[in-house]
Amino acid sequence: YSDYENTLQATLGASASSVHIMATEYNSNYGTPGKQMTSLVNGLFVADSIGSLLDSGYSGGLFWDLRNGWGTNGNNSSTLYGWREGGDEGILGDPNYYNLPSTGPYVPYPNYFGDQLASKMIQSGGTVVSAISNYNELAVYSVLEASGHLDLMVINKNPDASVNEQFNLQGFTPNGQAKFWQYGELQDYAQSQTSNGAAALANFSTTLSFTGANFSYAFPAYSMTVI
């Protein structure tokens, strides 16, 4: 973003501030997508990319795309994470291809749930607030809603281990009541066992234990969570 901003300022001078910069038609790969594009790995990428956009200065982003097309010519190596044996650059399955539960007209890929999860914290009137993680495989983003609720999106990119993270909230007085949305290996595996590709975010409420404004929570391996 800063590179584009510098270019605009060099070209347009004071008028540069009136130009909105968007990240358009992005994904983690292009060309011939393989199984990682339809796996939980790309779902985590989508959630993480949206969180990154919140902190970036970009006014928006366009993920490529809603529906694209199923293909089996990409990298479908057994060394890659994922149970689908095909790739797709969309977030919903191929409308012209039935290979349930892997793909089909209304089958959601994990990309879809990365988008849906982000929508739980990105609401009209909200304000992005600083969130910092001291663990390089745990990404954290935060929004203060207009209602006064604080939302945290936490992405554990570790494929093997859960992470028990300690949170220190500053400038916010919490109570113990928290609502969770989550998608990870459990939900991904459950979809693989269906006959029609149906899947959903896990959704639950719990009471967190606080010491002052501090609390800890364990996030499963390869998971994305909004609190």
In the sheet where 138-144 sits, what is the strand order? 127-129, 138-144, 150-156, 223-226, 177-183, 202-207
Helical ranges in 57-143 per DSSP H: 110-119
Whether pLDDT at 15 is above 90: yes
First to last CA, the chain: 28
Cβ partners under 8 Å of residue 28, min gap 6: 36, 37, 42, 45
pLDDT bracket for residue 175 (50, 70, 90): confident
pLDDT of res. 161: 95
pTM, 2 dp: 0.94
Q: In terms of Cα–Cα distance, which of 195, 37, 8, 175 is closest to 101?
A: 195
Whether pLDDT at 153 is above 90: yes
pLDDT of res. 170: 94
Q: Which pLDDT tens digit goes with each residue over 93-139?
A: 999 999 999 999 999 999 999 999 999 999 899 999 999 999 999 99
How far, in Å, CA of 181 to CA of 113, rounded?
A: 10
CB-facing half-sphere around the CA of 5: CA atoms within 13 A: 7
How far, in Å, CA of 214 to CA of 157, rounded?
A: 23
Amino acid of residue 197: G
| Total length of the chain | 227
How far, in Å, CA of 131 to CA of 185, rounded?
A: 25
